[in-house]
Amino acid sequence: EVQLVESGGGLVQPGGSLRLSCVSSGLTSSNSVMSWVRQAPGKGLEWVSTVSDGGSSTHYADAVKGRFTISRDNSKNTLYLHMNSLRVEDTAVYYCANDGPQYSEGGVYYTSRSFGVWGQGTMVTVSS
């Protein structure tokens, strides 16, 4: 069973930078697509970014494009989110998540691209 543990959150001034980490343990996550999802205080869930299993393909929400960079080091079972030019509106709990379950249809196996396992979250506060 995969477990995810985030770290790196904290208080940062507007315009500052922060790097979040997400370490996976249990079954290897190197074959999994990995994502970051955030939740501002009292608000709903917002997808932030996704990286392919090998790290070569990335996707970003418009709100963070050009400021955030997702990456992974599979040798360390670690996912990263490099956050630059932080804004007050980036204040949120940041969760990492991996793929949903595998399932079979018509004799073919698929991996659901839902978010099957989540970390406990790390809080990022952007304030002066």
Binding residues for another protein (CB under 8 A): 35, 37, 44-47, 50, 59, 61-62, 95, 100-101, 103, 112-116, 118-121
Q: Which is nearer to another protein, 16 or 53 (CB)?
A: 53
Q: Reduced to 3 states, what is the DSSP secondary structure of residue 118?
A: strand
Q: Which is nearer to another protein, 18 or 122 (CB)?
A: 122
Q: How far is the CB of 96 from another protein (least distance, A)?
A: 10
CB 97 within 8 A of CB 45: no
Q: Using CA atoms, how far apart are residues 110 and 19, in angstroms rounded to an integer?
A: 32
The DSSP symbol for 97 reads: E
Q: How far is the CB of 87 from another protein (least distance, A)?
A: 18
Q: How far is the CB of 103 from another protein (least distance, A)?
A: 6
In whole angstroms, what separates CA 116 from the centre of its chain? 13
Strands (DSSP E) contained in 8-121 are 10-12, 18-25, 34-39, 45-51, 58-60, 68-73, 78-83, 92-99, 102-105, 108-111, 115-118
Q: Which is nearer to another protein, 18 or 97 (CB)?
A: 97
Q: How far is the CB of 119 from another protein (least distance, A)?
A: 7
Q: Which is nearer to another protein, 76 or 113 (CB)?
A: 113
